[in-house]
A and B are shown apart, each in its own frame.
Chain A
Amino acid sequence: MTILSSVLAWFADPVHWSGPEGVPARVLEHVYYGALALLVGALLAVPVGLLVGHTGRGGFLVVGLANWLRSLPDLGLLILLVLLVGIGLVPVVAALVVLAVPPLLAGAYAGVRNTDRAVVDAARGMGMREHEVLLRVELPNALPLLFGGLRSAVLQVVATTSVAAYVGFGGLGRFLIDGFRAQADPIAKYTEMTAGVLLIAALALLLEAVLAGVQRAVVSPGLRAPGRGARSPADMVLRDDPPCPLTETKPETAGVNP
């Protein structure tokens, strides 16, 4: 149990809590890169997903694009971008955007497609214009799945931001990489790495809990009624993984599959 006690000692050491290499600074860096990537990713993916879902055209493109992006190895992409344009915020954020787009795209698209067609028909029939149908009816109904996509994107971005440390960037990955590379003594090495991964895991769990809370506040209670999502408070920590609903709605994009 030497590791456990030395990890605790690491966290107790005030040296690790101040300055540009301290925990607070690293957390802020980590959150900053991730938030930037999520913002850019959401601005790109959500409008496209909503529009494609609304019109019903190009669904197979969305599914295909999401699949392609998902299959990109993030570490390779990040390293390639850094080699091509040099180390900086742009390649790091760009690599993370590629990661954030598929779940957001899939969540927005599947959310709109899963809105009951009778509800959309009624909205149009009562005299809503197309943008009103999208913004007042389809978007609120898409929120549960959209949030599922967002939570999934946040998790993956938080996890992968750690990799930025490998190419000499900041964030919580630093403790991990520095520990792996710099510490000669195996105990010291493993201690710093463990401290780093514990911080990353804690950040992921915290953000997940915050997002689950936001989702409860934002999504209409009417969409939480029996048979729709969140069965128990425990489910809040679960990501409603959008790929599954997406593949389920696939047959609807008729004629796409040979």
Chain B
Amino acid sequence: MVWDWIPRNRELILGLLAEHLVLSLLPVLAGLVLAVPLGWLANRSPAARAVLIPTAGVLYTIPSLVLFVVLPGILGTQILDPVNVVVALTVYTVALLVRSVADALAAVPSMVVAAATAMGFRPARRFVAVEFPLAVPVLIAGLRVAAVSNISLVSVGALIGVGGLGFLFTDGYQKDFPTEIITGIVLSMLIALLTDALLLTLGRVLTPWHRLAGSRG
């Protein structure tokens, strides 16, 4: 390790770090916003489910590199445009979360839903007040997987020139300079694990009743 390379390139590293965070976490946010209504739809209507869930499965099967390359053709963007990476990762996040949301909503005990209906909740209010909160733990689990794999996948984008910290890998390879690569790996892992821990904490804060049940048992 050439330790002093790191402070000498602080600006570059911090810039890449910021780019990496945006490229990986923006899709998580966008994916969540899209997946909740789609998952809700898949849970409500068998027809929607029959379309959405298999589609999500096929999308998930397509390697990320493929999307990075094919999307410019579909979106009309330049191949080096960061939008390609954001859209590709959003597609993955949606594909993963649609099923999580649908399964989580299906797992809400029907008696709880019936009780809420009997108390006079209208469907929209009931979804916000009852079904969605109860689906949070599974949703958080899905978000954690999406966030961690997105952070790792972004660096693959470096192969087509947009990859946040992935630049340190390709650049380090061309310069035959392991320090740069190790720096990239460590930073990427750090933000992945930190994001994971943050989401875990968020999940606990949002579902205090789970913690209570856990400590009793």
Give residues in A with beta carbon < 8 Å to B. 3, 67-68, 70-77, 79-80, 82-84, 155, 158-160, 162-163, 166-167, 173, 176-177, 180, 190, 193-194, 196-198, 200-201, 204-205, 208, 232, 234-235, 237-239, 241, 243-244, 247-248, 251, 254, 257
Contact = CB atoms under 8 A, between A and B. Distances in A.
A79 B54 contact: no
A200 B66 contact: yes
B15 interface: no
Given A76-B155, A197-B69, A243 B144 contact: yes
Interface stretch (B109-117, B119-127, B184-192): B184-192
A84 B178 contact: yes
B142 interface: yes
A178 B169 CA distance: 19
Contact of B50 (A176, A232, A244): A232
B37 to A, nearest CB: 20
A155 B64 CA distance: 10
A198 B100 CA distance: 28
B56 interface: yes
B66 A237 contact: no
Interface stretch (B4-12, B26-34, B128-136, B158-166): B158-166
B160 A180 contact: yes
Contacts of B206: none
B39 to A, nearest CB: 13
A197 B159 contact: no
Interface string B166-197: 10111011001010011011001100110010
B54 A76 contact: no
A68 B63 contact: no
A197 B158 CA distance: 16
For the complex of A and B, list the 5 residue pairs with the smallest distance between their C-beta atoms, beginning with the closest.
A159-B63, A71-B192, A238-B57, A234-B54, A197-B66
A156 to B, nearest CB: 9
A3 B70 CA distance: 11
B198 to A, nearest CB: 13
A163 B173 contact: no
A190 B73 contact: yes
A75 B169 contact: yes
Nearest to B141: A247
Contacts of B193: 67-68, 71
Given A235-B53, A241-B145, A180 B159 contact: yes
Contacts of B189: 68, 71-73
A200 B141 contact: no
B160 A204 contact: no
A81 to B, nearest CB: 10
A238 B172 contact: no
A244 B217 CA distance: 21
B214 interface: yes
A167 B172 CA distance: 12
Given A71-B188, A234-B53, A244-B100, A162 B65 contact: yes
A79 B53 CA distance: 36
Given A204-B61, A247-B144, A75 B166 contact: yes
Nearest to B197: A67
Contact of B156 (A72, A84, A163, A205): A163
B159 A75 contact: yes
